[in-house]
Amino acid sequence: MSIGHRVLKFVRQLHLYLGIFTAPMLLFFAITGGLQTFSLHETTRGSSYTPPAWLASMAQLHKKQTTVMPVRRPRSAEAGAPMASPGEANAVAPSPAIAVSDTRAPGGSSQPADNTGARPKKNLLPMKIFFALVSLGLLISTLTGIYMAWRFSRKPQLVGGLLLAGILVPIALTLF
């Protein structure tokens, strides 16, 4: 057996075993990422939708590697404070977009651009659908990879053990 053949055999086995060990987390990220694409993990302003606790917790684990949900401070309007008009809000604390446009204004002018809100809204649905399809593709690809590794491996016990370890290690790490 040539050196190139041995290296290829080692790389194939490494790919198989690393893939089986990481497959449960790939499935987790594919599912939670797909759900986050449509903001199913959070309450949006002006909506009565409240996400299930398990979904919000899994999204937090996906994004911040912890299931501890941060305590959100109430916004000034929610806390009962009177809302300032848009003109007053910009006069007190300019937004970062205005601050950036101030520094880049031609001729050294520090006046904000008149058309800050004139930019048309983009339709995000096509991109969200694309990301959902990517999540679905990753899910199906990972599941078929697990099946093929289990079905066609000469060591199905090792594959099963690595798959179980790929499930138990992240669960154990979340407990610490």
Region 50-57: mean pLDDT is 86
Q: What pTM did the predictor assign?
A: 0.67
Q: Taking all residues of the chain, what is their mean pLDDT, rounded to a whole number?
A: 80
Q: Which of 6-10, 112-116, 168-172 has the lowest mean pLDDT?
A: 112-116
Q: Output the six-digit token pair for 22.
A: 């990481």
What are the backbone angles phi and psi of residue 123, rounded to the nearest 5°?
-85, 110
Q: Where are the domains of the chain?
A: 126-176
CA distances, 134 to each of 29, 35, 60, 127, 140 (Å): 12, 12, 21, 10, 10
Using CB atoms within 10 Å of the CB of residue 51, give its burial: 0 to 12 exposed, 13 to 18 middle, 19+ buried: middle
| Better-predicted residue by pLDDT, 142 or 80 | 142
